[in-house]
Amino acid sequence: MRRSKKKKVIGRTEYIALPRLGIERVEAKIDTGAYRSALHYHRVKVRRGEKGRELVVSFYMGRKRPTIVFRTFKRVTVKSSTGHKTRRWLVTTTVQLNGHQVRTPFTLFDRSDMKYQVLLGRKFLQGRFVVDVAHKHLQDQ
């Protein structure tokens, strides 16, 4: 019998930090239907750097407007719930949620017309968290 690790219960939205992006607090929507997490971006540019190609990404989250350089990235195809396929950049960064630090992959997507700029999917949740959709901000205590 496999011993299971106790999972933290989180709400349908939680406040998180994205330390590498300089974001101390942003509200994220938890989406158990999404495989990967998604992150709103303002501008993406690929350039030639000292060590090969670099992905330069500008983020707008609240008052913060950081520009971050990723040296490890790739393009992936993402299929929406309606069946529409899009090509997106995939990067990895650290998420902090009430003492938990998780390195997780994010696709970059223009979420400016959506309520939440960060969406956390199943790859982030897997083996760590259980979602109680009746509540919000359970880890913001």
Question: pLDDT digit of tens for each residue in the chain (141 aa)?
Answer: 455 578 999 999 999 999 998 888 999 999 999 999 999 888 788 887 777 788 888 877 666 677 888 888 899 999 888 889 999 999 999 999 988 899 999 999 888 888 999 999 999 999 999 999 999 999 875
Q: What is the pLDDT of residue 133?
A: 94
The separation between CA 63 and the C-alpha centre of its own chain, rounded to angstroms, equals 18
DSSP assignment string, 32-90: TT-SSEEEE-SEEEEEEETTEEEEEEE--BTTB--EEEESS-EEEEEE-TTS-EEEEEE
Q: What is the pLDDT of residue 1?
A: 47
**d(Cα 124, Cα 30) in Å, to the nearest integer?**
9
> Domains in the chain, start-ordered, CATH in brackets?
9-130 (2.40.70.10)
Tokens of 11: 């709400």
Q: What is the pLDDT of residue 5?
A: 77
CB atoms within 10 A of CB 50: 6
**d(Cα 91, Cα 38) in Å, to the nearest integer?**
10
Q: What is the pLDDT of residue 62?
A: 64
- Environment class of 23 (CB within 10 Å of its CB; exposed 0-12, middle 13-18, buried 19+): buried
Q: What is the pLDDT of residue 64?
A: 67
Sheet of strand 52-58: strand arrangement: 43-49, 52-58, 67-70
Q: What is the pLDDT of residue 30?
A: 97
